[in-house]
Structure 1
């Protein structure tokens, strides 16, 4: 038995995960009593949500992620599914997945935010949302008034959220209650090594962190800081790995990144037994590698001083193995039959093509932040070194005092702008300047609950399939940001264009939008949903599968999951 367990925990093939998913069949279905006709299977009582950050369908295919592919084959896949909103960024989607709320109704829409009602400070203040922790997210979530998935589940058991990335954790978990735990990374101890040197660490922090996650020196739950591997060079230097928050690391006793997150999930399962009802986990390794090395354009072995640990091939293989480990743990514990598993991503990854990267490069670690942001946000340092491509907008607008009218801009695979003077004339002035920025396909102006396109579409900057996607989806996707706290203007960009780092997120591109959405475990069948399932549909679909009546209307659609029919 021990030998079989060791073999299964090293799940690396599609066939092995197929065995895991097949474990959702009951003994009756596998040849039990029968004779009394079909009856509906019991509803799931538990939920596991696995978010593999930046995992586009293209990445799954390119890197042959066999465990993910097996779930897509043997669970309920959504071949026509897509993200369904902008900004297609972590800080938005994690909250969408566990609330069923569109960004225009959930409190913030992308990595920039205008505090219209003064929930965080003086009314009108401009903020960067990826700096938000519980103290900032909770007031926005509570003001919007929607419940999180954890609010429905904590009546029947404890709910745990695990993510090395803080704002991802708080989006998935919600504000928290006495029966919820949120486990992420914070600054940890400086520990003395046997040779007298010292090492700085990150440690578990969050909300109601269980005591079994020790923060003492030597604990498995610490992750090393001050490690940069091969990422202190272009292009990774724009957003380098500086510790093991997102990278696994070389110490097998204190691995970080996706392995740390999965180990934490398995620890929760072991310690809590049957006492949990929900586990939400975010695996950020693919996202970090894609940002640093340009996603599917990662040079891999051609990188000077190449360390495979920071690159896409290693990151995708690692994330894939963690999916297998979680599924195997559910089967080994006998809980898979009662657990609905959701596998998805927070966004895909746009890879900048030659001549279509419009960020600046300086020999400084984290210079990419100056490409992502322009302005003086209330919760960060000033970002006043805009890339050359953005200068016509920054220098061409005037707030009436001789200063730029751009209060905040956020640029990735789309351009998002919050203006100081929001008068019609000033918005039109900025829109005209944005139309002429490199590779812009259209400019959109916020108008109530939607955006109006105010420039012609530059079809000449798109290819065939991209044109069809734009025609079908651009308006729908941009409109999901149409809130008074959202950007005043949005400029869309082609498939292979970024203004920030070589691999990025944010826009309407197919590479950002076409992400896996898979339902497995419990009594799900292998029959696919043919509808265009979106991230906002995940929450209502989970509630429908569990037989839970929502206490508030959601923006998403509750799809009925195909199920196996059990027999008496």
Structure 2
């Protein structure tokens, strides 16, 4: 029987690993197969890789890679197997969903939850039909839903050949990547920590407890400072501000947080465990945090009063890129790169609200954005009872159990009669910037409103909607998913100025890159999706799946 076990790696910036793989620029994709790119002499790779490193850079769209010149990420794309037409491939396009998709190969409709809202139709967590906010799930809640759905995780396949480690400053990201776990699996994340010499800290925790070399005692490098707001306690960042060094690097050199914290932990694991590990999965949250706070690629940067570069997009992108470089360098210097399959991807992209297309409210309170994200009284959170003005007509129907609003509007109804569904759908159709309203019936979403093409500003946006909207929405068509969904244009959010969740190209067009393991520089011409990562990994490792996955396994060309 398979045992549970995980592996994720953070992203770093150093360029030293570049010498490990020589290669030229990308070549055109052929009509019959992948386009290969020339590579210089390289050491003979083993027949099959036997280790896996997954680096998830949260919110990393391909546009962000290009705008902020992320050289290490671009180098992986050039030197490894890139997927220029790859995309996320599901909704909701959110962290709490995608991390689990990556290491399960299951679409949201088959994996246990589909979005930040969740209806417990089978009574797994409590009373049947109870409504929950999934980003509040701890390890036990997420494991219960994973086990109820019945599929294995990547950690289950890797567990027999070595230890698996998952590292993320964000707990629910770590638990999704890791799966339910086993004695041979270790999750490393954050929890509230001690007060040392008057300073409050966050400290590492996990399931089971982290290795002893990732210390939680006063003075440990792995404690990071709390009560730090930097320049984020103002609009728009105050909607979801940095209030400690969990997601940002911080200004304390001995206790750096965010992406550097995660990468330091990964490198410590690689150093201490050496040949004992078989998988490392790491999630880097810095880009995501900056994008939420400052509006993604519309970040005002130096125009911000009291500007601190450390909280903004350019710094976050360069920091994440540096972590990718550090990890690749460590693999090369240890001699592990040739036998390790490296996957670089994102859990979603980032939609940047244009002027006039942000439909949230703001009050000068930390984390007021939660009142834009949620309306309703979930079983595992406070009652969110201050809906933004734009959503008020929906609330006035009196039929709402829970809403989740980001770059898509999702509704779970108290009363799911046909009459109520029609009434609420009619109200949603008239909300600001809605392009279409969709009703779930079984395993399909049916469009119940005209398509507002006049709200889509470019031919490319309209073409993407025509080609992808139905496919993406149907990936969450299941009883625990939303009853009604409203799609929004490319540059629109209802929550914070930079967000995710919907069908927009900015949220869907993410990097999916495979490196290491003697792979030949290649562009796959297929539209590879996040759900395809897991079966592709198993194929590369020569492991036969024991469960039918939703994703497709692609052959990764290797050097001859």
TM-score normalised by L of structure 1: 0.92
| 1:424 counterpart = 2:418 | yes
Match of 2:365 in 1: 364
Task: Indicate if the aligned counterparts of 2:91 and 2:503 stay in contact, CA closer than 8 A.
Answer: yes
Q: Return the alpha-carbon distance in structure 2 between the equivalents of residues 87 and 31 of structure 1.
A: 41
Q: Return the alpha-carbon distance in structure 2 between the equivalents of residues 205 and 388 of structure 1.
A: 39
TM-score normalised by L of structure 2: 0.93
Task: Indicate if the aligned counterparts of 1:189 and 1:201 stay in contact, CA closer than 8 A.
Answer: yes
Post-superposition shift, 1:17? 4.4
Post-superposition shift, 1:41? 4.9
Counterpart mapping for 1:358-507 below 5 A = 358-395=359-396, 397=397, 404-462=398-456, 463-507=458-502
Q: Return the alpha-carbon distance in structure 2 between the equivalents of residues 306 and 214 of structure 1.
A: 33
Task: Indicate if the aligned counterparts of 2:14 and 2:326 stay in contact, CA closer than 8 A.
Answer: no
Q: Return the alpha-carbon distance in structure 2 between the equivalents of residues 106 and 10 of structure 1.
A: 30
Q: Tell me: CA distance 1:132–1:31, structure 2 relative to 1, closer, same or farther (3 Å).
A: closer
Q: CA RMSD in A?
A: 1.4
| 1:374-411, Cα deviation, whole Å (9 max, x unpaired) | 0000000110100000011110x2xxxxxx11000000
- Structure 2 residue runs of 5 or longer lacking an equivalent are 1-10, 24-39
Task: Indicate if the aligned counterparts of 2:158 and 2:278 stay in contact, CA closer than 8 A.
Answer: yes
Task: Indicate if the aligned counterparts of 2:174 and 2:188 stay in contact, CA closer than 8 A.
Answer: yes
Task: Indicate if the aligned counterparts of 1:41 and 1:564 stay in contact, CA closer than 8 A.
Answer: no
Match of 2:308 in 1: 307
Give the 3-state SS of the residue equivalent to 1:227 in structure 2.
coil
Match of 1:62 in 2: 67
Counterpart mapping for 1:529-548 below 5 A = 529-548=524-543
1:554 to 538, 549, 558: 549
Task: Indicate if the aligned counterparts of 2:14 and 2:324 stay in contact, CA closer than 8 A.
Answer: no
Q: Return the alpha-carbon distance in structure 2 between the equivalents of residues 165 and 471 of structure 1.
A: 35
Match of 1:525 in 2: 520
Match of 1:177 in 2: 182
Post-superposition shift, 1:18? 3.1
| 1:237-286, Cα deviation, whole Å (9 max, x unpaired) | 00000000001011111100000000000000000011100000000000
Task: Indicate if the aligned counterparts of 2:374 and 2:405 stay in contact, CA closer than 8 A.
Answer: yes
Task: Indicate if the aligned counterparts of 1:517 and 1:535 stay in contact, CA closer than 8 A.
Answer: yes
| 1:495-529, Cα deviation, whole Å (9 max, x unpaired) | 00000000000000000000000000001110111
Post-superposition shift, 1:84? 0.1
1:107 to 91, 112, 116: 112
Q: Return the alpha-carbon distance in structure 2 between the equivalents of residues 43 and 454 of structure 1.
A: 50
Q: Return the alpha-carbon distance in structure 1 between the equivalents of residues 425 and 163 of structure 2.
A: 49
Task: Indicate if the aligned counterparts of 2:12 and 2:323 stay in contact, CA closer than 8 A.
Answer: no
Counterpart mapping for 1:215-226 below 5 A = 215-226=216-227
| 1:295 counterpart = 2:323 | no
Q: Return the alpha-carbon distance in structure 1 between the equivalents of residues 299 and 454 of structure 2.
A: 27
Q: Tell me: CA distance 1:359–1:31, structure 2 relative to 1, closer, same or farther (3 Å).
A: closer
